[in-house]
């Protein structure tokens, strides 16, 4: 995971041609930790400080009316000025694209960034909306019944990416 | 699931600690929504909420309306005057007619204790009690709990004195149940003519004088003296009440620790609370109002999720 995060941090700076206007925003829960890691890597490499944010997209989910008892809502905290910024949305896994859609809608309620990039650790395919990531740690093609679990030390006590195949039920 | 709220919010009596904590924890992220440049999230998009107010109310009605609008619900306000209620329509008929227009939730304020429960038992929509007679005002109790938790970091072990007209106060009842469930100690202070019979048997600390409450408590929740009570002979005069039970800066100066002052509003300045206390450094009266919107958003959000058997079929099901 460390190597992938390094590559992602480097690519963010290259794409933005520096760190001007960068705001790193993580999606609750594990995207927040990954965003913090990526931001710290960029800061160490570039000798600068970057504004960060965290986004909980629960209230923007398109299935809120049908999922029954309400999910817990976590904190949303974005820097005051998003207008004109280059916002990097960081999440652990990109799958259907519905979370990214919700995140884009929520960011738009905080201002008008110059551009928004989507940065994910794992792209597992299986999109249900026309959305793609700009910066990807690794890509795996998985069946809809397979699962990807990303664990980070801050939440889970270790860093790991597990792919659980429905066919044999084993992690690898 | 034991923490789910069920269909209605009628009172804090009977709610578990886990349920109250769920509401308070859910209110936290909703505080931030009201700080955004665009103060709106789409969580209740497509839901229709009727605010059915049979008693005058400014703060509570506006607070509910902000909460509903910031969740993107569509709202309709019905006041008793100027509606068919003034033509003698019964509560259930009014509500059933509204339900026939496919509404999802009713927020009700009514002069009769038990009106919210009565309604909740008879209609499919979610019912939120916004104050019923002398029974309960649960969202006020919840916003008081949230404000205390903000100020002290926890509610367990706090000493909270409820001061004034406890007899007629639904706010006092909701506070009493909520505070006890959350592990706080409750004190009661007020003239004997304005205390309910048998209250000392509820496991509360009786504080005969306001000076006793100030010595004992971490926070005072000062109830509004309903002015019509004076005419009914419960107290000799407003001046007399202020002299004996009014919370003044001089009295607060005797407190062994810095107190927090809560008041559900509207205040009678110079009666139960002096102006320099209401506007002073110990007052958390305006944070209470801010928290009221967040706590009501949390309640509406949680109830709209509901238990599956009450889920409205086909509503915004994309």
**Domain harbouring A98, CATH code:** 3.40.50.2020
Mean pLDDT across the stretch A27-38? 96
Q: Band of the pLDDT at B2, cuts 50, 70, 90?
A: low
Domain containing A43: what range?
A: 2-63+72-144
Asked if residue B1 lies in contact with residue A69, where contact means CB atoms within 8 angstroms, the answer is: yes
Q: Mean pLDDT in chain B?
A: 91
Handedness of CA B161, B165, B167, B171 (dihedral sign): negative
Q: Does residue A111 lie in a domain region?
A: yes
Q: Each residue of B114-128: b (16+ CB within 10 Å) or e?
A: ebbbbbbeebebbbb
Rounded Cα distance, B140 and B138, in Å: 5
Q: Does residue A118 lie in a domain region?
A: yes
Query: CB B29 to CB A77 under 8 A?
Result: no
Give chain A positions within 8 Å (CB) of B1.
69
Q: Say whether the peptide bond before residue B266 is cis (omega within 30 degrees of 0).
A: yes
Chain B CA closest to residue A63: B318
Q: Band of the pLDDT at A169, cuts 50, 70, 90?
A: low
Token pair of B278, please?
């209401």
Handedness of CA B273, B278, B282, B285 (dihedral sign): positive
CA dihedral B226, B229, B230, B236 (to 10 degrees): -110
Domain boundaries, chain B: 17-137+292-310, 138-289
Q: In the prediction, which pLDDT does B10 show?
A: 97
Mean pLDDT check: name the lowest of A116-120, B86-90, B163-167. Answer: B86-90
Give chain B positions within 8 Å (CB) of A105.
42
Mean pLDDT across the stretch A82-104? 96
Give chain A positions within 8 Å (CB) of B40.
109
Query: CB B32 to CB A76 under 8 A?
Result: yes
C-alpha distances (whole Å) from B70 to each of A33, B50, B110, B146, B309 are 29, 15, 25, 19, 27
Does residue A70 sit at the B interface (CB-CB below 8 Å)? yes
Q: Does residue A158 lie in a domain region?
A: no
More confident residue, B84 or B114: B114
Q: Band of the pLDDT at B80, cuts 50, 70, 90?
A: confident
Token pair of B299, please?
């309640």
pLDDT at B309 over 80: no
Chain A CA closest to residue B1: A69
Q: Band of the pLDDT at A66, cuts 50, 70, 90?
A: confident
Give chain B positions within 8 Å (CB) of A56.
29
What's the predicted TM-score (pTM) here?
A: 0.91
Total of domains in chain A: 1
Q: Band of the pLDDT at B316, cuts 50, 70, 90?
A: very low
Chosen CATH of B17-137+292-310 out of 2.102.10.10, 3.40.50.10420, 3.40.50.1370, 1.10.490.10: 3.40.50.1370
Domain covering B138-289, topology? Rossmann fold (3.40.50)
Asked if residue A11 lies in contact with residue A135, where contact means CB atoms within 8 angstroms, the answer is: yes
pLDDT at B317 over 70: no
Q: What percent of chain B has pLDDT over 90?
A: 78
Helix (H, G, I), strand (E, B) or coil at B49: strand
Q: Band of the pLDDT at A168, cuts 50, 70, 90?
A: low
C-alpha distances (whole Å) from B276 to each of A141, B267, B289 are 68, 13, 19
pLDDT at B235 over 80: yes
Does residue A60 sit at the B interface (CB-CB below 8 Å)? yes
Give chain A positions within 8 Å (CB) of B302.
70
Does residue A73 sit at the B interface (CB-CB below 8 Å)? yes
Q: In the prediction, which pLDDT does B233 show?
A: 85
Q: Is the ipTM of this complex over 0.95?
A: no
Query: CB A68 to CB B311 under 8 A?
Result: yes
Handedness of CA B58, B78, B147, B211 (dihedral sign): positive
Helix (H, G, I), strand (E, B) or coil at B219: strand
Beta-bridged to residue A24, according to DSSP, are: A52, A88
Q: Mean pLDDT in chain A?
A: 93
Report CA Rg, chain B. 20
Helix (H, G, I), strand (E, B) or coil at B162: strand
Q: In the prediction, which pLDDT does A69 show?
A: 75
């Amino acid at each position: 995971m460390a190597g992938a995060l390094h590559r992602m941090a480097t690519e963010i700076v290259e794409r933005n041609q520096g760190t001007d206007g960068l705001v790193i925003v993580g999606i609750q829960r594990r995207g927040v930790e990954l965003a913090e890691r990526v931001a710290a890597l960029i800061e160490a490499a570039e000798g600068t400080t970057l504004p960060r944010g965290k986004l909980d997209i629960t209230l923007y989910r398109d299935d809120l009316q049908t999922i029954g008892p309400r999910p817990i809502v976590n904190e949303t905290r974005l820097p005051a000025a998003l207008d004109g910024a280059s916002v990097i949305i960081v999440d652990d896994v990109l799958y259907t694209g519905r979370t990214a859609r919700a995140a884009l809608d929520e960011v738009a309620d905080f201002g008008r960034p110059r551009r928004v990039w989507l940065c994910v650790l794992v792209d597992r395919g299986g999109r249900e909306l026309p959305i793609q990531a700009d910066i990807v740690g690794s890509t795996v093609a998985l069946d809809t019944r397979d699962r990807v679990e990303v664990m980070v030390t801050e939440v889970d006590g270790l860093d790991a990416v597990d792919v659980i195949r429905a066919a044999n039920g084993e992690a690898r | 699931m034991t923490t789910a709220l069920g269909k209605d919010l009628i009172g804090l009596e009977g709610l578990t600690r886990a349920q109250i904590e769920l509401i308070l924890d859910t209110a936290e992220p909703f505080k931030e929504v009201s700080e955004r440049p665009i103060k709106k999230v789409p969580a209740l998009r497509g839901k229709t909420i009727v605010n059915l107010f049979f008693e005058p109310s400014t703060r509570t009605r506006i607070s509910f309306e902000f909460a509903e609008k910031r969740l993107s619900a569509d709202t309709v306000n019905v006041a008793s005057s100027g509606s068919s209620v003034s033509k003698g329509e019964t509560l259930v008929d009014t509500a059933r007619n509204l339900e026939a227009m496919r509404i999802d939730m009713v927020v009700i304020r009514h002069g009769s204790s038990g009106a919210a429960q009565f309604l909740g038992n008879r209609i499919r929509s979610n019912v939120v009690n916004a104050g019923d007679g002398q029974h309960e005002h649960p969202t006020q109790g919840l916003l008081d709990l949230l404000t205390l938790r903000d100020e002290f970091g926890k509610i367990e072990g706090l000493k909270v004195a409820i001061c004034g007209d406890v007899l007629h106060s639904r706010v006092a009842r909701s506070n009493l149940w909520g505070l006890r469930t959350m592990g706080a100690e409750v004190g009661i202070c007020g003239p004997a003519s304005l205390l309910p019979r048998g209250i000392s048997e509820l496991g509360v600390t009786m504080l005969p004088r306001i000076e006793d409450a100030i010595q004992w408590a971490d926070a005072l929740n000062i109830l509004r003296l309903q002015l019509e009570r004076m005419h009914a002979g419960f107290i000799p005069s407003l001046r007399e009440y202020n002299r004996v039970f009014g919370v003044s800066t001089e009295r607060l100066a005797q407190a062994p620790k810095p107190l927090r002052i809560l008041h559900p509003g509207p205040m009678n300045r110079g009666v139960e609370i002096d102006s320099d206390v209401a506007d002073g450094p110990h007052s958390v009266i305006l944070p209470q109002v801010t928290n009221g919107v967040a706590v009501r958003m949390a309640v509406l959000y949680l109830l709209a999720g509901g238990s599956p058997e009450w889920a409205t079929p086909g509503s915004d099901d994309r």
